[in-house]
Structure 1
Amino acid sequence: MRLVPLLLCTILTVPLLNGCQSLRLADNSLTPQRIAFEHSPAGCQGESCPLVNIDTLSFAEQPALNALIERSLLEMTVDGPGAPLPPSLQAYERNFLAEAQPGWSSYLQAKVREQHDGLLILELSSYLATGGAHGMPGRRFINYDRKLEKPLSLQDMLLPGQEDAFWKLAQDAHRRWLAAEKLDQDADYQKTWPFQETANVALTRGAVLLKYDVYSIAPYSSGHPELKIPYPQLNGVLKPQYFPGRG
């Protein structure tokens, strides 16, 4: 099933707000231009045709941010150790369709999750189906500090020496998640799917959000589990400027 219905073999450039492209709004947020296209091999017809669906963003006068988004999406296409990184999304699409078998598909998406306090929170998604019972989805966050003009690593977000404290809070969040899913008394489940750290951390308004890949802390059927750390718990752990309202 196609996840995003788009015009086949057509490039769309869709402004996301009132016809304005990449404008700074009254609240100083950015409005990106959406760039979306979906292609199948030339001349192929029918549901079994391989396809590539790419739905990404472009920000006016932000070449470094645009390059970061493209590179991050391309990194999500690498399906094995040592596999080369495609030079561009167009090259990835061309190579995938040249090698694809009937029924194969690849989806890549970048979207704005939130903007607040000088931060741009992007969520990237991927889905690769190359046979088997189901495809493999992926997720990634970019926390882009517009003042520093750079993506933030976890070390950038935390006060010095507080990484262990952060992961202890994440383990507490994991225990709350288990309780909410009624799995906190299931010893076999917890042994099979123990807590792990994740690189997918987002500074959302409501809480610091941790999102996990499938097969990490839960089976495929659970999708992408999300853990939340409330900001009050992060006093003395998170840098003050990254608390909502202080940036």
Structure 2
Amino acid sequence: MSLLKIASVACIALTLGACQSLFQPSYRAPLDVTRDTSEQTQAGCATADCPLVNIDTVHFAQEPKLDALIEQRLLEMTRTTPGAPLPATLNAYRDKFLRESGPRNSMYLQAKVREQHDGLVIIELSSYLDQGGAHGEPGRGFINYSRQQQKALSLTDMLLPGKEEAFWKAGLVAHNSWLISTRLSLEPDYVKAWPFQKTPNVALTSSDVVLKYPTTTIAPYALGHVELQIPYSRLEGIIKPELVPVGH
């Protein structure tokens, strides 16, 4: 009997979902991930202030597109001026930084898995450039990678058509809740000085939709990268139903 006939007979005995699973990957099982860390200082430097590059990233043997995307996004975080050309690889960036930097200069780059759920891989990206000043320049970002679509989801990919304004209104509600929980709402000068803003950093976590902010956008530097949470229940009719995790 041919493989096709065997599969057809099996499908008759199984439910449609089980039959489809014979031919499609299971997105419930998380991808295997390996961590790749390195730290290197400038060649020949023996002082405590040697230029340094620390790279802490992850690799997915099963998803080469995600691997390439992570490296690309980390490289984008190395830009010090908008539109500046990017090095070809992280290794090339490290070599150039160490070759050209002076004492007390360092760069930390990190990609970590924040969550895997419902066929999504949520990667959180971090950077920290120290040029010897009072404090460094931190950066954050997210990748919402759809294993089924084989791509990173943009906000447009996440929302139903015409719902972006409604999404940011839900973000404003989350911001007001954060102001109340931190008691910052009791300080009118603070509320006026640090109003709600949109952010490019949106993550579809298993519990809620997270908005993460660059420093000094909706709060002073000392408060770091503020996170706001929007419950999925508030996004009914706004976010695409297929992106709402099971159980919400």
Q: TM range, normalised to the smaller chain? A: 0.7 to 0.9
Deviation (angstroms), 1:61: 3.5
- Does 186-195 or 202-211 show the bigger shift? 186-195
Tell me if the contact between 2:28 and 2:118 (Cα under 8 Å) persists in the aligned partners: no
Deviation (angstroms), 1:86: 1.3
Matched, 1:60 2:61: yes
Between the aligned partners of 1:27 and 1:173, the Cα distance in structure 2 is 29
Tell me if the contact between 2:36 and 2:57 (Cα under 8 Å) persists in the aligned partners: yes
How high is the TM-score relative to the length of structure 2?
0.87
Deviation (angstroms), 1:26: 9.8
Q: Which residues of structure 2 form unaligned runs of 5+?
A: 1-24
Deviation (angstroms), 1:27: 4.3
The 5-angstrom pairing of residues 47-196 of structure 1 reads 47-196=48-197
Tell me if the contact between 2:27 and 2:119 (Cα under 8 Å) persists in the aligned partners: no
Task: Give CA deviations for 1:164-197 in whole Å, capped at 9, x if unaligned.
Answer: 0000000000001111111112221122111110
In the TM superposition, structure 1's runs of 4+ consecutive aligned residues that sit over 2 Å from their partners are 24-27
Between the aligned partners of 1:27 and 1:242, the Cα distance in structure 2 is 14
Please name the residue that 2:38 is paired with.
Answer: 37
Please name the residue that 1:202 is paired with.
Answer: 203
Tell me if the contact between 1:53 and 1:106 (Cα under 8 Å) persists in the aligned partners: yes
**SS of the residue 2:58 aligns to:** strand
Deviation (angstroms), 1:84: 1.2
**Structure 2: which amino acid aligns with 1:168?**
K
Tell me if the contact between 1:209 and 1:227 (Cα under 8 Å) persists in the aligned partners: yes
**Structure 2: which amino acid aligns with 1:162?**
K
**Structure 2: which amino acid aligns with 1:185?**
L
Tell me if the contact between 1:119 and 1:146 (Cα under 8 Å) persists in the aligned partners: yes
Number of equivalent positions = 224
Please name the residue that 1:20 is paired with.
Answer: none
Q: Which residues of structure 1 form unaligned runs of 5+?
A: 1-23
Q: Percent identity?
A: 57
Between the aligned partners of 1:111 and 1:141, the Cα distance in structure 2 is 10
Tell me if the contact between 1:117 and 1:246 (Cα under 8 Å) persists in the aligned partners: no
Task: Give CA deviations for 1:64-84 in whole Å, capped at 9, x if unaligned.
Answer: 111100000000000112321
How high is the TM-score relative to the length of structure 1?
0.87
Q: Which has the larger radius of gyration?
A: 2
